């Protein structure tokens, strides 16, 4: 498989990759650097490398850099669940990121705009258009309700209506989670195409914890369904 194209998938929690190995041929668990573990196999003629990185932006960045250094992927997709903070989103809907932003990055005291990482001109990272469009097509063909927009990431579980309104109002974000923008920044630094895909598990309000507990596992199943079809489409486009 050494000369095959590689499609990488990274998620924070084990449940977000549940059932992933079922469509891989000869899946193997491999040890990697920094204590990382990878699930590696193939499908549709391409190598697939997946990993659970752990919750939060630091874990996501560490895990993804280890994955990039080990497998040199041609595409990276970050999947998982998120809280819907925009209008018109329901539990189990899918959001495909057009861009990401770190909503908790705040260097405004030094004159930077909210969300800007010093050294960058914009608070936003733009997703790869090909991967974005493939994800939208795959989700639509799977019969899922697919939305596109800005995904906001921060090291906080959003369960406060005031914070929800602030993130949505400041950045125009449609959902909030805890890893996507770190994945995006790491991919940009490594020049790897990327997209973030999120299944809605809650509404980012004061009932978010209860909703997340109840719905996040099934939301993850919906995201994996989309990924399975997306990989096949990605592979077909490369032949």
Long-range contacts: 30-33, Cβ < 8 Å, 24+? 32/66, 32/67, 32/70, 33/66, 33/69, 33/70
Give dist(CA 36, CA 184) in Å, integer. Answer: 19
Q: By the 8 A CB rule, do 146 and 136 touch?
A: yes
The single residue of 16, 42, 177, 179 carrying the catalytic annotation is 16
Token readout for 171 is: 């950045």
202 is catalytic: yes
- The radius of gyration of the chain from alpha carbons, rounded to an integer in Å, stands at 17
141 is catalytic: no
User: Beta strand 46-52 with 146-153: parallel, antiparallel or unpaired?
Assistant: unpaired
Q: By the 8 A CB rule, do 208 and 159 touch?
A: yes
Give dist(CA 221, CA 168) in Å, integer. Answer: 26
The single residue of 93, 179, 202, 205 carrying the catalytic annotation is 202
Distance of alpha carbon 40 from the chain centroid:
18
Q: By the 8 A CB rule, do 95 and 195 touch?
A: no
DSSP 109: G
- Residues marked active site are found at 16, 202
């Amino acid at each position: 498989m050494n000369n095959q194209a590689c499609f990488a998938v990274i998620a924070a929690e084990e449940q977000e990759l549940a059932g992933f190995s079922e469509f891989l041929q000869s899946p193997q668990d491999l040890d990697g650097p920094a204590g990382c573990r990878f699930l590696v196999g193939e499908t549709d003629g391409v190598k697939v490398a997946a990993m659970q990185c752990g919750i939060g932006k630091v874990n996501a960045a560490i895990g993804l850099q280890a994955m990039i250094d080990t497998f040199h992927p041609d595409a990276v997709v970050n999947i998982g669940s998120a809280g819907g903070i925009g209008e018109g989103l329901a539990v189990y809907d899918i959001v495909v990121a057009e861009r990401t932003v770190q909503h908790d990055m705040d260097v405004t005291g030094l004159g930077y705009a909210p969300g800007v990482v010093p050294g960058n001109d914009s608070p936003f990272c733009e997703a790869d258009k090909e991967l974005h469009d493939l994800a939208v097509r795959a989700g639509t063909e799977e019969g899922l309700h697919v939305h596109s927009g800005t995904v906001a990431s921060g090291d906080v579980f959003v369960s406060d209506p005031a914070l929800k309104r602030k993130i949505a109002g400041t950045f125009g974000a449609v959902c909030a989670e805890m890893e996507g923008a770190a994945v995006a920044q790491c991919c940009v630094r490594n020049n790897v195409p990327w997209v973030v895909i999120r299944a809605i598990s809650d509404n980012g309000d004061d009932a978010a914890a209860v909703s997340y507990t109840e719905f996040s596992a099934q939301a993850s199943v919906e995201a994996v369904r989309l990924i399975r079809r997306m990989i096949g489409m990605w592979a077909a486009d490369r032949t």
